[in-house]
Structure formats: C-alpha cells, structure tokens
Amino acid sequence: MLNFYPAQIESVSLHRVGNKNKNEGVFLSSEPHNLNDEISGLLKEYFFRPFREKEENYFKFAHEVDADFNEIFKVVSEIFADSSKVHLLSKKIATHLFEQSNHPHIKSGEVYVVQFSDMVLDNKKVDAIGIFKSELKHDFLQFQENKENLEIIIRQGININKLDKGCLVFNVDKEEGYKVLSIDSNRYDAKYWLENFLGLEPLSDDNFKTKNYLKFCQNFAKDVVLPAEDKQQEVLFMNRAVNHFAKNDAFEESSFLNEVMENPELIPEFKHYKVEKGPKYSIEDVSNFDIANKAVSDARKKIKNVINLDTNIQIKMDFINPESAEKFVEKGWDEERQMYYYLVYFNKEQKH
C-alpha cells in the first residue's frame, strides 16, 4: 500500500523536450526550480492524483542484457546514491527522453525530475524519484481591467488535474530493478514512454499474480464454462473464484480447483487451458502465491455478475453471497413456449 500524504518535494528540475523528428530541440534549465509552499502543494496534487486513482501495478527496470544497461536505472541509482547530483543527472534524463522522441506523433512538453522524501510504501518511509511530462496544452481565459472595461485575454497552459505521463521510482529492491509505478494518459504513443524511454516490464509480485490469475479465470469462464454449461454457471464460477481469493491469504491451485469447480470434468479443461493461455497472463508457472487483497477488491468491481436475457430482462447475481444464486435460482425449459426460463425463489421483496 502507498501513502502520499506525508511525502515532501525536496527538489524539482524542469526542462523542455521537443520532437527530434521535427527538429524541435531540447531546453535544459541551468538550475533547479525555486519552490515555495503554494507551488509545492499544487505540484504534489498534479503529480500524485493519477496514481491515487489507478491500480497499484508495479514495474521494474529491465534490459535485454541486464538492468545495469538501462539508462534510466543507471541515472536513478546515481541520484539515490548522491542526491546533490540530481539536477545535473536530470539533464541526462531529459536528453535520453529527447533521443526517444523521434516519432511524428510524439508531442513536445515539459519534463519534471523530482526528488521526494517520506513516501510511505508498505508502511515504511522511502525516498523516491519522479519523472513527469506535460504535453497537451489547453486554452484558458484571463481577465484584465482596462480603464472602464474588463478585457478577456486567451492564454495556453497545462491542466493540473490531468498528468500526461509520469513515473515514480521507489528506493527499494534495487537488485530487482526497483519498484516503479507508471502512468500514461495519452495512448497515441504507447511504447514511447513505458518501453523506449523507461525500459520497464511488469513486476511479478503478489498483486500482479493475483490480478492476472483472476483475469485468466474470467477468460476461462467465458471460453470454456459458458459454452460447456450456460451463462448462470459462468457467473457462478467467477463468484466462487473471487470469493475463494477473498477469504484466503494464500493461493494454492489444487485447493482452489477443488473448491470452485462444481463440475469436476472441467478440471482437466482448466489445466489444458492454462497450458494454452497461461503465458498470455504470465501465470503458466504460477500455482502458489500470497493473495493481494486490493487486487481482489479491484477485480470484484470489474467482473460482470449479470445475466442479460434477450427478453430485455437482467438477473444480477450477488458476489458476496453466491450460494443464494445457486439455491434460489433455477433454470429450465418450457415445452409449451419453447423457451428457457429462470425460476427465482424469495420470501419478500426488499425495499430500499
């Protein structure tokens, strides 16, 4: 878990990077930016807001040979080792970003290299380096008194409620490539920020395994359970799967299958599906891990638990009490109407 509230900005280095393909150049500030309390408060909100609103999916620095060959990994390691070099090294970061900015779609923008102290990660205070880029400019109005009239002046600037690109590098697990969070709001240059500039790959931690295993189960339910049985059983399978994750601290695959797979004939199908599709979710060799509760909560919100019928009726199942859907909802076939039906039992209607 990550807590931004106690975090402090120690320094901000600000540069501008253009599109190399368009011969726009790069502007490197000679000194760090002078901060005051008002600017610090606004910048913290600007930098942190998207990370508070997004799932904590961690990455690590990587390279096809070794992480030591990753340019940003090297520079960040130098900053953590000697913070007095941060502004000088921030120029290296901006220059490296400029070298990757050669696709015609990439927009010029301001680059911020920020030193943070007192970030709280997993209940421990850590230092962090933030690298952010603002790209999209927005029109805004200013007003000026001119003798007897109020004049409208049109300016351009950035929206501090929407960060375009950013990453936070936490000073932990250096040997594994650090723990890194990344955000990219603009999808027109998907590889430019995450891969070409930062050189990141997903960190296979418990959060990653929990999230991806549940995604895998969701696709198994859609591709195998639904065709083999019906929509009700697809929903109920995911109900049981999510609840298994919710009530256990650790995941063990054989125990999971015995509990959630009502039809034992589907267990070999599950194992075959895992061999075939597991690599897509990076879980082909995963069968034991500690369950990340936040990933379960996030998955529960995204998984659909509704049966949509072609008669414009919806039946919504309850993820918290899946046994209700099994005990009190029956599916059948009406010979006279030549239609399927769901029979729902209840004592009284609830009033909200």
Q: Report DSSP state, residue 326.
A: H
Is the pLDDT assigned to residue 186 strictly greater than 80?
A: no
To the nearest 10°, report the CA torsion of 82, 87, 90, 95: -130
Structure tokens at 151: 């004049």
Reported as a single tens digit per residue, the pLDDT across 79-127 is: 999 999 999 999 999 999 999 988 888 889 999 999 999 999 988 999 9
Structural domain boundaries in the chain: 2-203, 207-344
Q: Which pLDDT tens digit goes with each residue over 218-260?
A: 999 999 988 888 877 888 888 889 889 988 999 999 999 999 8
Q: In Å, how far from its chain's centre is CA 123?
A: 20
pTM across the whole model: 0.76
The angle, 0 to 180 degrees and rounded to 10, between the axes of the packed helices 231-247 and 206-220 is 160
pLDDT of residue 320 exceeding 60: no
Across the range 334-343, mean pLDDT stands at 82
CA dist 43 to 4, 36, 112, 159, 296, Å?
A: 13, 11, 10, 11, 32
- Report, in this order, helix, strand and coil percent for the chain, each rounded to 5: 40, 30, 30
Q: Which two three-digit tokens encode residue 129? A: 């380096």
Other C-beta atoms within 10 Å of 112: how many?
A: 22
